[in-house]
Structure 1
């Protein structure tokens, strides 16, 4: 396929570009900066996707079969909440509209943050555990709100242009050999720990790549959202026990066994044939060379 990837020199985006190019796809990688080093099968383009003209030209000029949208501000705390919201929504609006006009299906990086817990001033319990894609969405922050609006834009784009859009909702993305999530695992004490709004969930970047690949290959009808999380938490402790100890409560509807993730990936398993295969237990010490063109 001919695929445009936005956020192509960033964390997850660079790994997605590397994989797609290695599989023989022709890739146009778009980001704010072009990398100093290129990659076979990839044409890199510098563009500000929050500007409609640049976004449309970057996508429409290349007549893609699909667009993978991984660009945007990746979390709260990098800039103001207002800038985070506006940048992410403007970028997503322009990319989706251009993809629709090109007749290209879209896979894009949404987030579990749209449920509201991860960046809430006081992280709160979900209505039930494990959390699935149908859980109510109650963001209190600019980042989570931008992803909620982004999924509404996805639904709008499907209605207007009759393409498909897959919204991938990953948890905290980790990189082999650089598992920052587990830095405090050894000293973790449920009695004194701060509340975690994603309930100590994570996902390896290689599993993000594989779910993007699966979504590109799938026959998706309209707009669908999919969780992308590792099978277990990164603490190595029973998930329900930790949540109850830290939050002093559990939802009445709680069906978790052992250290399984607080987020269900059953929908992705069922509809995409995808499942996570990487665990912190092995990946934290793996020596895997990442993309040579990664900028930030």
Structure 2
């Protein structure tokens, strides 16, 4: 396939480029800057995707079969809430519109932050556990709101252009051999711990890549969101016990066993045939280099 990957030099985006290039696809990587090195089957352009003309030209000139959109400000705290919102929404609009005009399906990085709990001033309990794709979305911050609006833009693009869009909602993305959750687990004390709005969930970057791959292969009709989360929390403790200890309560509807993640991946398993394959138990000490094209 001819693929366009935005955010091609970013954390997860660079792994996406590396994977699809290694599979022999023709990949065009877009980001604000080109990487230091090169990659077989991949070319890179430096462009600002908040500029409509630049975004449309870069994407449509490649005549893509699909667009994988990972560009944008990846979390709260890097820029102001306003800049985060405007950058992510503008980029999503420009990329989706260009993909629609090119007749290319889209897989993009939404977020579990759109539910509202992760970046809330005071993280709150969900309506039920485990959280799934139909749970109400109540973001209070620029980042989560940008992802909620991005999914509305995705639905609009589907209606207007007839393409499909898969919105992947990953939890906190971890990289093999560099799992910051290890430090959080080592220092965790339920008596003094702050509330975690993602309920101590995470996902390995390789599982993010594999769900993107699965979404591209699937016969998706319209716009569909999919949670991408590891099977278990990263604390090595029973999930409901931790939530109750830290939050002081549990939702009335609660169906979790052991250290099972607070987010359900049942939809991705059923519709995409995807399931997470990596766990902190092995991956946080795993020696695995990232994409070589990022460095000379």
Q: TM-score range by the shorter chain?
A: over 0.9
Q: Which residue of 2 aligns with 1:88?
A: 88
Q: How far off is 1:289 after superposition?
A: 1.2
RMSD of equivalent CA atoms:
0.6
Q: Normalized against structure 2, the TM-score is what? A: 0.99
List runs of 5+ in structure 1 lacking aligned partners.
none
Deviation string 1:56-75 (CA, Å, 9 cap, x unpaired) is 01100110000000000000
Q: Which residue of 2 aligns with 1:102?
A: 102
The 8 Å contact of residues 107 and 216 in structure 2, kept in 1 or not, is answered as yes
Counterpart secondary structure, 1:57: helix
Q: Which residue of 2 aligns with 1:149?
A: 149
Q: What is the number of residues matched between the two proteins?
A: 295
Counterpart secondary structure, 1:53: helix
Question: Could you tell me how far apart the structure 1 residues matched to 2:110 and 2:74 are?
Answer: 10
Q: How far off is 1:53 after superposition?
A: 0.6
Q: Normalized against structure 1, the TM-score is what? A: 0.99
Deviation string 1:245-279 (CA, Å, 9 cap, x unpaired) is 00000000000000000000000000000000100
Q: Which residue of 2 aligns with 1:24?
A: 24
Q: Which residue of 1 aligns with 2:287?
A: 287
Q: Which residue of 2 aligns with 1:179?
A: 179
Q: How far off is 1:182 after superposition?
A: 2.0
The 8 Å contact of residues 36 and 294 in structure 2, kept in 1 or not, is answered as no
Deviates more, 1:177-186 or 1:21-30: 177-186
Deviation string 1:26-60 (CA, Å, 9 cap, x unpaired) is 00000000012010000100000000011001100
Question: Could you tell me how far apart the structure 1 residues matched to 2:193 and 2:293 are?
Answer: 37
The 8 Å contact of residues 238 and 257 in structure 2, kept in 1 or not, is answered as yes
Question: Could you tell me how far apart the structure 1 residues matched to 2:243 and 2:182 are?
Answer: 17
The answer to whether 1:232 aligns with 2:232 is yes
User: Residues 133-212 of structure 1: matches in 2 within 5 Å?
Assistant: 133-212=133-212
User: Residues 38-57 of structure 1: matches in 2 within 5 Å?
Assistant: 38-57=38-57
Deviation string 1:143-185 (CA, Å, 9 cap, x unpaired) is 0000000000000000000000000000000000000122121
Question: Could you tell me how far apart the structure 2 residues matched to 1:187 and 1:76 are?
Answer: 23
